[in-house]
Amino acid sequence: MNAQRLNLRGDLLPPSFYTSEDVVQLAQALIGKVIVSLVDGKYCSGRIVETEAYRAPEDKACHAWNNRRTHRTATMFEAGGVAYIYLCYGIHHLFNVVTGPKDKAHAVLVRAIEPLDNIPLMLQRRNMRSLHPNLTNGPGKWTQALGITTALNGIKLYTPDAPIQLRDDGYTVAKDELLTGPRIGVDYAGEWAKVPWRFRLAQNAYIGP
DNA sequence: CGTCCGATGAACT
DNA sequence: GTTCATCGGACGT
């Protein structure tokens, strides 16, 4: 699909956006950015409203904790700007933005988006009849709505014809609109379960509680 | 090879 | 509040 002809909203984030070693700051910077899906020749998009930062080697909640390199975690060690997508509970495809330089296993989990373009397509993929927050208000829900699966693990997010793209349409987030708290579902990680690395856009209908 | 279990979601009571 | 679908990864044997 030709991304130019589609007149996608905003500007593609350049590779330099992803190079910072401060994954916690990048998790905040990604709030408000647009994620575009061009899967199966169809276009849809949404605005990122909830993220979490994961940072190997020290972060015990990170799959690459202690710099564990396996077939699954290999993608996290690549240079920033690629997708790390893995299967959770055998059902859900969870999407992360890999950040930082090569061999630093840092990533931002996108937990929720606000739907923007082609909502009928998202409803169809989710087997829903009408717009409701549970269309895209969870990490396994929004990926289903956008047609994202592990088949796209490792793709570059910054090329103009990529099936998943991150874009900046000028939307800005004020400091007092950014909610901060501990990450979800990582109780096994001891002290690392408590670090405030989860970020949400305040007052948005698609964020989790 | 066997077992355990997860960065979840949906359908229950 | 609870249960469970469903499967690849991780790890021990």
How far is A164 from A184, CA to CA, in rounded Å? 24
Distance, angstroms, CA A70 to C1' C12?
17
Q: Are A78 and A98 in contact (CB under 8 A)?
A: yes
Confidence at residue A82, expressed as pLDDT on a 0 to 100 scale: 97
Number of domains in chain A: 1
Write out pLDDT tens, residues A133-184: 999 999 999 999 999 999 999 999 999 999 999 999 999 999 999 999 999 9
| Residue at A111 is within a domain | yes
- Whether A54 and A23 have beta carbons less than 8 Å apart is answered as yes
List the CATH number of the domain containing A61. Answer: 3.10.300.10
Q: Residue A126 belongs to what domain range? A: 3-201
- State yes or no: pLDDT of A2 exceeds 90: no
Mean pLDDT, chain A, whole residue set: 95
Is 60 exceeded by the pLDDT of residue A1? Answer: no
Whether A92 sits with its Cβ under 7 A from any strand B atom: the answer reads: yes
Q: Please report the DSSP string for A78-133 in residue order.
A: SPSSBEEEEEETTTEEEEEEEESSTT--EEEEEEEEEE-S-HHHHHHHTT-SS--G
Given a contact cutoff of 8 angstroms between Cβ atoms, the answer to whether A171 and A24 are in contact is no
Residue nearest to nucleotide C6 (CA to C1'): A90
Q: In this structure, is residue A51 part of a structural domain? A: yes
In the predicted model, what is the mean pLDDT of residues A97-124?
Answer: 97
Tokens for A143? 């990926």
Lowest mean pLDDT among A14-23, A115-124, A181-190: A181-190
pLDDT at A188: 84
Q: What is the pLDDT of residue A189?
A: 87
The verdict on residue A208 lying in a domain is no
On chain B, which bases lie within 7 A of the protein's CB atoms? 6-10
SS3 content of chain A, % helix, strand, coil (to 5): 25, 25, 45
Predicted local distance difference test score (pLDDT) of residue A65 = 93
In angstroms, rounded to a whole number, what is the distance separating the alpha carbons of residues A187 and A110? 19
Residue % of chain A over a pLDDT of 70: 97
Number of neighbours of residue A122 by Cβ within 10 angstroms: 26
Which pLDDT does position A61 carry in this prediction? 94
The candidate with the shortest Cα–Cα distance to A61, out of A188, A199, A196, is: A188
Q: Is the CB of A91 under 7 A from strand B?
A: yes
Please, which pLDDT band fits residue A4 given cuts at 50, 70 and 90?
low
Q: Give tens-digit pLDDT for A39-69.
A: 999 999 999 999 999 999 999 999 999 999 8
Instruction: Identify whether A209 is preceded by a cis peptide bond (ω within 30 of 0).
Output: no
Q: Is A207 within the bounds of a domain?
A: no
Strand C-proximal protein residues, Cβ less than 7 Å = A 63, 68, 70-73, 86-87, 89-91
